[in-house]
Amino acid sequence: MTEVVQTKPPGYVVWWTAARPRTLNAAVGPVLLGLAIAHGLGFALDWVHAVATLLGAVAIQIGTNFFNDFADSLTGADKGERLGPPRATSLGWVSQRAMLIATVVAFGLAVAAGLVLIARCGQVFFWIGIASLVCGVWYTSGRWSLAYLGLAEPFVLFFFGPLAVAGTVYAQSRTWEVVAMVAGLAPGALATVLLVLNNLRDRAGDAAAGKRTLVVRFGRGFGLVELGLCHALAAGAVLALMFWLRPEQVGWLGVVYCYAVFTGVDLVNKAARAVGKEFNLMMAEAGMRLFIFCAGLGLVFVF
């Protein structure tokens, strides 16, 4: 297959594209939800902790995206006609050295935010930070990475779900709240949806590059089932929250539940018919829906 040559855009566009902004809702949404839950539980918000938590989450996500760009240029996963957003390193827009430096800078910002949380909230954030950085690098670092082995889904579910939400609440309360862990299952499941859509879009290219995602291993139908199960988990987590809410909040929780069900059915139906680059628009839509879901669920706790 002949490799498609693309004209290099301006520098700021190159780096903005490499940061993959459509994925950042998966980092921002759970933190905002965690802050709303902490407020709803009666904890006074510490805005230094809030900013540090948000900065750390976003910086780790961007660093992971930068390293993904760098690592895929080494393995050849982006050769040929790419269906997803352009990879800056593979296209020669950015050198491998520059992308690696950018990765270190992004992770460095995450470390700085983590040091604030460690100093003010305890060593638990040292271990959260180490685990997050290791998984960020392990996600696409070679043939034994999470993405290449088809093991990424449970890690995305956990790190963008219960850990992100409950960790944000811990930064405000110094306690691990079960309600935050249960609530976190929902954004974690919806973040996993983004991964599955990505894998459905790239199934042929991933198979050619030896990237054995679950969709590559078990087929398109399995990926559609994954999408359905992720939305079912998100909806189930919303229903479980009624045991922690006041009666007047349950009605609004029902609105969020209906939103989760509707968007799930809609997305699975679209994915069943989508081909190629049509998945890009679906991923953007799913990322925005994740953010709206977190905002809506957060408002239930706030009010």
**Mean of the pLDDT values across residues 258-276?**
95
Q: Looking at residue 82, what is its pLDDT?
A: 63
In a domain, 172, yes or no: yes
141 vs 220: CA distance, rounded Å: 25
In a domain, 180, yes or no: yes
Average pLDDT, the chain: 91
In a domain, 192, yes or no: yes
Task: Say if residue 3's pLDDT is above 50.
Answer: no
Task: Say if residue 47's pLDDT is above 50.
Answer: yes
If one compares 5 and 300, the residue with the highest pLDDT of the two is 300
In a domain, 21, yes or no: yes
In a domain, 6, yes or no: no
**pLDDT tens for each residue of 172-195:** 999 999 999 999 999 999 999 999
In a domain, 83, yes or no: yes
Number of domains in the chain: 1
Verdict on whether the full-model pTM lies above 0.75: yes
Q: Report the 10 Å Cβ neighbour count for 221.
A: 10
Structure confidence at residue 6 as a pLDDT band (50, 70, 90): low
In a domain, 1, yes or no: no
Task: Say if residue 208's pLDDT is above 60.
Answer: yes
Least confident stretch, 28-32, 82-86, 153-157, 177-181: 82-86
In a domain, 210, yes or no: yes
Q: Looking at residue 4, what is its pLDDT?
A: 45
99 to each of 66, 96, 166, 206, how far by Cα in Å? 6, 5, 32, 22
Q: Looking at residue 9, what is its pLDDT?
A: 81
Task: Say if residue 1's pLDDT is above 50.
Answer: no
DSSP structure class, residue 114: H
**pLDDT tens for each residue of 77-135:** 555 566 777 888 888 899 999 999 999 999 999 999 999 999 999 999 999 999 998 88
17 vs 33: CA distance, rounded Å: 26
User: Domain with 262 in it: what CATH number?
Assistant: 1.10.600
Q: What is the largest CA-CA distance in the chain?
A: 61
- What range defines the domain where residue 72 resides? 11-302
Q: Looking at residue 76, what is its pLDDT?
A: 61
